[in-house]
Homo-oligomer: A and B are copies of this chain.
Amino acid sequence: MKQSRRPVKKNHYNVGAPLAPWREALNVIIFGAETRAAKIFDVVLSIMIICSVLAVMLGSVNSLQERYTQWFFYSEWFFTLLFSVEYVLRLLSVRKPWLYCRSFFGIVDFLSIIPTYLSFLMPDIKYMLIARVLRLLRVFRILKLAEYMGEAQVLMYALSRSRQKILVFLYTVCTLVIVFGSLMYVVEGSESGFTSIPKSVYWAIVTLTTVGYGDIAPQTPLGQMIASSIMIMGYGIIAVPTGIYSAELMKVDKAADINNEACPDCGETGHDYDASYCKYCGHSLDA
């Protein structure tokens, strides 16, 4: 509700002098989200993206690939040509094509078609088609755009505000895993799988993050004692990012919730958004 009041910001590459009428019309369909045609375009595009991602994923399963080789080959080219046409139309209808190409979604759109063309040279590269899944981010707008984007912005804003704290935390975690990894390399030796310091550091990350594959596990009593202390440390350390993020999110939430307009009579602020009268002096807030 609160977010929907906020007007949807136009992308920088879509600001500028108007284009020829047919390109304007295309622009409204492809980049817009309000008209009926634009909504249908978004829904069809979403389905196409999901289908193409599923085709790439299933195409990597050997048993399916062997049985439906032809089918996967055709679907790959079908989606690639379809998205190529869409990419060209986007370039034609956007106001500043070059800015669009360099934008996040421009790059994602490009990565969604180019691997197929390059797969003649390098067959493995075609799995980069999975980048198509990122295109779905754009189609968030077919859901209630403003609200979801608003929520995502709150989450990102809280994240960016706690950036420094999180970097300090990540540096501490990195130092811990390097120091403890090396220690375990010396203590355990290669018999238990700690064959080198990089591998031991990998093990320390697996342990500290409480993932615990178990492909490498300490065997000696001393190694198990050190491992235990890493685990309990990791168990406690998880409190740090959670605490940082909770605290930040609560501040952001609170700031978004309180009306900062002052009462015209007593000058007090901090009124709720639904308040019509000052809660301190009773003066009308609307005048």
Contact = CB atoms under 8 A, between A and B. Distances in A.
A219 to B, nearest CB: 9
B281 A186 contact: no
The number of times this chain is found in the oligomer is 4
Majority SS of interface residues in chain A? helix
Contact of A231 (B140, B151, B170, B209): B209
Interface stretch (A13-21, A75-83, A193-201): A193-201
A272 B282 contact: no
Interface string A193-237: 001111101100111111111110100010011011001101110
Contacts of A186: 124, 127
Contacts of A212: 206, 210-214
Interface size on A, as a range, is 35 or more
Contact of A165 (B154, B210, B245): B154
Contact of A280 (B182, B221, B242, B275): B275
A240 B245 contact: yes
Contacts of A152: 168
Contact of A221 (B182, B198, B251): B198
A62 B134 CA distance: 40
A254 to B, nearest CB: 9
Q: 9 closest A-B pairs (Cβ-Cβ)? A: A277-B282, A213-B214, A211-B212, A275-B279, A243-B245, A130-B182, A60-B197, A239-B245, A243-B246
Interface of A: 53, 56-58, 60-62, 124, 127-128, 130-131, 133-134, 136-137, 140, 147-148, 151-152, 154-155, 158, 164-171, 173, 175, 178-179, 182, 185-186, 195-199, 201-202, 205-215, 217, 221, 224-225, 227-228, 231-232, 234-236, 238-251, 253, 271-272, 274-284
